[in-house]
Structure 1
């Protein structure tokens, strides 16, 4: 395989000073570059990092061997706050989906739209838990988020907006609380340092000295956080 065979998306933004290359969770290659960077400069940067790109793709393929394909059947496991809960199909339940007695209970009449029911459950629980954790975390920060949303963010766990809002993927609620805290703190630091600059990583290290442990957990287990 050659660079020419890869699907590479390029995004130019005024929030970047250097060219950075990322392998997204779906295995695609994304390039973030300054708006002032010429196409030739971006192409040269990609070419200079050819070895790193293919090394990261190989690592992505290795990690994706652990991907879980879930069916909505009795006994199937689903993640919630870092723990696996097996599914039980129930008759005439008071709500479409809930966790009870160490199991996910899904009302059978919602089976045809179980995917949406699970996503709605995760979104609701994620917003509540993130708001709860944020009350404890934001005491460490001067800059506070003006809005919190839980969305479908494709290949990102979370993102910040120029208006100081924070967006989180609904899948975040599948991670352990300590990892969720890392995701929140990572985005809180972005309110002060928009880019992944040296200042950003230094600030993150101050706010969460063991952040690498949680970052690595996401790299190892992120592929399992899906429906």
Structure 2
């Protein structure tokens, strides 16, 4: 179901998804998709009123998506902001807890929850990044181990780190670097980057033989690569 509200001179169209939950969550995705995930039975007028309370934030996010094409968008660490993990979007919930020394992050019942003694944005961002990096390291090492038997070669070293302009790289020494932000992508897309870099252990170039090797392992690699090109802008903090 799709509804709309008028906010100033703008009309905000949004999809409504009913689920068994107690509260409503709103997500905004590139390029212009707005979704309200609401409790079963919530009336349309109530949904519209609640969306209206977030209208300013929604318009701001839509403007950012419209004007920023290739630079990762900066996230706001406020309740309701949307964060990606393994290809799905989860809304953020911040819970103040003075008993803690530093913010703690968990994914629980379809939400990212940060329990924190502070509202400092940098502290919240650092906590989220730490969580992402840990999950990325676990997932990427698992996939590298899986594909090394299909590639027929094992990397000398695998490092998960920040990479401003690349999703991965492979050196002539057989060292593979992979971007921790990959953990925001769906599993098939993570696999594509892992296979891509591991294929460089055999062909340290982008020759026909290289792409033939990638395709022999992932026949649909072009679709996976396309997803990354279209959605990479959303994978950031």
Relative to the length of structure 1, the TM-score reads 0.68
**For residue 70 of structure 1, what is the aligned residue in structure 2?**
75
Asked if the contact 1:81–1:177 (Cα under 8 Å) also holds between the matched residues in 2, the reply is yes
Answer whether contact 1:96 1:110 (CA < 8 A) is retained: no
- Match of 1:97, SS state, is strand
Structure 2 equivalent of residue 135 of structure 1: 145
Q: Name the counterpart of 2:229.
A: 219
Please show how residues 173-212 of structure 1 align to structure 2 within 5 Å.
173-212=183-222
Q: Which has the higher strand share?
A: 2
Would you say how many aligned residue pairs link Structure 1 and Structure 2? 167
- Equivalent of 2:89 in 84, 89, 93: 84
1:98 alignment partner, one of 101, 106, 110: 106
Secondary structure at the counterpart of residue 117 of structure 2: helix
> Secondary structure in 2 aligned to 1:179?
helix
Task: Tell me if the contact between 1:74 and 1:89 (Cα under 8 Å) persists in the aligned partners.
Answer: yes
Contact 1:148-1:166 within 8 A present in 2 as well: yes
- Change in CA separation of 1:215 and 1:62 when aligned onto 2, cut-off 3 Å: farther
Offset at 1:169?
A: 0.7
Distance change in 2, residues 1:136/1:65 (3 Å)? closer
CA distance in 2, matches of 1:194, 1:111: 46
Is 1:163 the counterpart of 2:168 in the alignment? no
1:4-48 CA-partner distances (Å, limit 9, x unpaired): xxxxxxxxxxxxxxxxxxxxxxxxxxxxxxxxxxxxxxxxxxxxx
Q: Give the C-alpha shift of residue 223 in structure 1.
A: 0.5
SS of equivalent to 2:177: strand
Aligned-residue CA RMSD (Å): 2.2
TM-aligned CA deviation for residue 138 of structure 1: 1.8
Once residues 91 and 69 of structure 1 are traced to their aligned partners in structure 2, the CA distance between those partners, rounded to angstroms, is 23
Q: TM-score, normalised by structure 2?
A: 0.65
